[in-house]
Each structure stands twice: as C-alpha cells, then as structure tokens.
Amino acid sequence: MRVSHQNAGILLITPSVFLICALLVYPVLYGVWLSFFKKHSFFPEQKFVGLANYLYLLKDSEFWMSLWYGTFYSVSTIVLQIIIGVIAALILNEAFRGRNFVRGVVLFPYMIPTVVAIILWKWLLNNHFGLVNYLLLAAGIIEDPLSWMGKDHIMTSLVMISVWEFFPFVVLSVLARLQTIPLVLYEAAKVDGAGAWSRFIHVTLPQLRNVLFVVILLRSIWMFTKFDTVWLLTQGGGAEKYIRTLPVFAYMRTFTYYQAGLGSTLAVIMFGILIASTTVYFKMFRREENI
C-alpha cells in the first residue's frame, strides 16, 4: 500500500488531539504550575514557593504512608484483576448452555455506578447486619463477626470490592481478543500433540500478549490514580487512615486541609511515579512497533 497523503491521516487524528489537548492537557499543565505555589483552596491569593511543597512532602510521614498504601492497593488489585479476569475470559470463551447470560452478568460489577457498588458492599460487610458475616458465621468459618470496615480488615475489604468492581474490564478486553484468535492455530497445535495447558501457553498467551500489555498498563494507571472507590468507602470516616492512598491524600490536601498547592504537588508526584514505572514497563515488555 502506498503511503497515503499525510493530510488525510492528520485530519482524522485532529479531533482526538484537539479534545485531549484542550480538556485534559490544559488542566494537567495548570496542576503542574500550581504545585509550585502555596495556595489556599478557597481564597484567590497564592504565593510562589518553588520546590518547597515537594520538600515538605518528602519529609511528611503521612505522604510516605499514602505512598505505601497506594502502591500496595494498586499492585494487589491489579494482580488479582488480571488473574481472575483472564480465567473468567477463558471460561466464557468456551461453549456452554447459558453462556450468554453469564457473560452479561459478569459485566454487572463494572457497569453499576461506583456509588451503588460501595453502598451495596458496605451493607453486605456491615459487621452486625451484613450478609457476609452471617454466612461466614453460619458456615463456621469465623467465631465472631469480623469488622470489615474496621482498621484491621478495611484494606482487605477495599481490595476485594475493587477487584470485584473492575475485573470485568479485563474479561471484556481479553474475551474480545480471544474471539479473534484463528482456530487454525489451535488445530495445528492439537495435531502437534499439544495438551490443553500447552495450547494455552503456546497459542493463547502469545496471542493475548498485545491486549494484556495494554490492559495491564491501563489498569495499573487507573488503579494507582483511583479515587472514587477508595474515598466513597469511608468518606473520611474512622478507618480511612488505613486506606489513605495517594489520590485520596491529594484530595484531602486540597479539599479538607485546603492546601491546593500541596494537592497539586501530590498529583505531580503520582504522575512522575507513573511515568517512571511506565518507562521501565515499556523497556521490559514492549516489542515491535505495534504499540
């Protein structure tokens, strides 16, 4: 195919670039600019302080705690989402009665508004009236009702809810890709005597490579910057401290401590961490100019 007119290509990509630059890039730039100022969130006055905000955070124990919680949260949820998601996609790729129904239902956690999911789960995990404790007690798995929203278990609850909420995303992406893998490849492998597991490793996984690369990358970015799910679980309530991830901390600095400059600084730091990790990720896993 001849290399077509540059213009056509540019034209088709222009609306995308325009929208992204205007609505996303500009606010980001503003955020970066603001991180060099000390600004009260309500009042218009601001003072240039250079790197003072960054230095302050590096010495702040709350920051390091948030960094730890944020990283722990992201990594555990991503790993679980990918594993459960891929397994689910494989199952849903098989033919069985009721498959369409199950496929639709599996999407359910992802499609309800986060707010509804949190309300539902908080109610299920309520230590006195919740169904989860009741079932666990009835099955004899625990002796006393567990405090799911208390400081010992709240991170577990959060991870569980987050995985439940977002794993369908992985399922969808992987399933869509599984559907386009040519049957021929499997047939050829079977002819070569490969068993089910071997077919998975040598045919399926390589074909999923590209999709997984993107999915892992995106889910990582999104879980690292996730705010809604984490915040809505406690809304600043008692055990909030133990799930205070970086995005929540940034929110608190801006909207509850009223230190907008520090909030932006945190966002920039998160940004930096993501860029660094992504660069490493690309170096390690990116092959071919496809991506």
Instruction: List the interface residues with another protein, window 88-127 (CB under 8 A).
Output: 88, 91-92, 94-117, 119-121, 123-124, 126-127
Phi-psi region at 112: left, alpha or beta (left = phi > 0; alpha = psi -120 to 50):
beta
> Considering only residues 249-278, where is the footprint of another protein by CB under 8 A?
250-252, 254-258, 260, 263-264, 266-267, 270-271, 274-275, 278
Task: Give the count of beta carbons closer than 10 Å to the beta carbon of residue 290.
Answer: 8
Stretch that binds another protein, among 24-32, 71-79, 198-206 (CB under 8 A): 24-32
Out of 159, 211, 223, 261, point to the residue binding another protein (CB under 8 A).
211
Write out the two tokens for 196: 């089910």
Going by C-beta distance under 8 Å and a sequence separation of 6 or more, which residues neighbour residue 193? none
Stretch that binds another protein, among 74-82, 198-206, 233-241 (CB under 8 A): 233-241
Stretch that binds another protein, among 3-11, 72-80, 198-206 (CB under 8 A): 3-11
Least Å distance, CB 278 to another protein, is: 7
Least Å distance, CB 202 to another protein, is: 19
- Decide if 81 contacts 168 (C-beta within 8 A): no
285 in contact with another protein (CB under 8 A): no
Stretch that binds another protein, among 71-79, 168-176, 197-205 (CB under 8 A): 168-176
Sign of CA dihedral 196, 102, 155, 31: positive
Exposed / middle / buried, residue 110 (Cβ in 10 Å: 0-12, 13-18, 19+):
middle
Length of the chain (residues):
291
